Amino acid sequence: MVEAAPIVSAQIIDGKAVARQIESEVAAAVERLGFAPGLVAVRVGNDPASEVYVRNKAKKAQELGLRGRELALPESTSEADLLAEVGRLNRDDSVDGILVQLPLPKQISAQKVIDAIAPAKDVDGFHPFNVGLLHLGRPALAPCTPAGVMRLIDSTGIRIEGANAVVIGRSDIVGKPMAALLLQRHATVTICHSRTRDLAAVIHQGDIVVAAVGKPLLVTAGMVKPGAVVIDVGMNRVDASFTDRLAHDSDKSRLLAKNGSVLVGDVDYARVRDVAGWITPVPGGVGPMTIAMLMQNTVTAAERRRA
Ligand code: GUN
């Protein structure tokens, strides 16, 4: 019998393994510091996803030797009360990093709250001062998800300098800072968004593609340049009926959540895998990196505040 030629598949970028590596670096840095940096994760209200994220952030901090704590405030918290709380944390010398989980209830302006966080403690890297430094290419507390994506790209060993990098999505949290970080490393960067003409043709130019739009399975195999590095930041929770669109994914059970919903990325992983050179899975790609980079930013903030 003649065996079928093997399909050459992308190398899978293991976000959990890279995150573990960063976490061990953070734990070592904490030991060197000789004190436990303090991180406070603030949550307002009871959004179930935010509850999980914030709890995990505080838990991971403790695991790595930081003083991590969750501050849970009621859904009815006023903007003035939250601003007052941020002010107290700014003045509290035992606090090195402050994070206010987004989204916030509608009576609170996220922009006002972000602007109120002391830039030196802004471990999310969302304050306009840190955003400015980042876009000037000066060392700053960079937003955790895009900083984590850079580490994943670096883990492939490809040369970023001179590469065509295509960022899909222009959010303040991911797309824009992602483009700034890639530019800092001398990539030729294109940012795509909802008004982009011929998205497929632009994506096809990418030696590096970062998908961060929140549209399930937007990036298909035909759009991707063979051999490209494809990073999927998407975390789209869709209902179980969506599995019809995943019929081609032989390993789709990984996507099923306990409540029957399905978690899919912005990339059609099962098909793009056969075209890309490297690819991140969802889950297990970018997700684990975000918390790891938050821990690293907290250590950086602690070191700088005491320098
Ligand atoms: N909500 C979704 N992502 C993030 C993040 O990185 N930081 C904060 N504070 N909230 C978020």
Give 201-255 pLDDT, tens digit per residue.
999 999 999 999 999 999 999 999 999 999 999 999 988 888 788 888 887 877 8
184 given a catalytic annotation:
no
295 alpha carbon – ligand 1 mean position (Å): 14
**Measured from the CA of 144, which atom of ligand 1 is nearest?**
6
Q: Which CATH architecture has domain 35-116?
A: 3-Layer(aba) Sandwich (3.40)
Confidence tier at 8 by pLDDT (50, 70, 90): confident
**55 and 83 in contact (C-beta within 8 Å)?**
no
- Torsions phi, psi of 188, nearest 5? -90, 115
Domain boundaries, the chain: 35-116, 143-288
Q: What is the pLDDT of residues 140-174, one digit of tens each?
A: 899 999 999 999 999 999 999 999 999 999 999 99
CA pair distance 133, 103, nearest whole angstrom: 24
* High-pLDDT (> 90) share of the chain, %: 87
pLDDT for residue 5 is more than 70: no
Pocket of ligand 1 (CB under 6 A): 99-102, 124, 144-145, 173, 290
Among candidate residues 60, 96, 122, 124, the one labeled active-site is 124
Does residue 124 have an active-site annotation?
A: yes
Interval 265-269 mean pLDDT: 97
Residue 1: predicted pLDDT: 59
8 A C-beta contact, residue 160 and residue 208: yes
Q: Model confidence over 79-89: pLDDT tens digits? A: 999 999 999 99
Query: Is 225 part of the annotated catalytic residue set?
Result: no
Same fold flag, 35-116 and 143-288: yes
Confidence check: pLDDT of 256 > 70 = yes
Residues 6 or more apart whose CB falls under 8 angstroms from that of 163 comprise 187, 188, 207, 208
pTM: 0.95
CB 123 within 8 A of CB 39: yes
Asked whether 165 and 190 are in contact (CB, 8 A), the reply is yes
CATH 3.40.50.720 fits 143-288, yes or no: yes
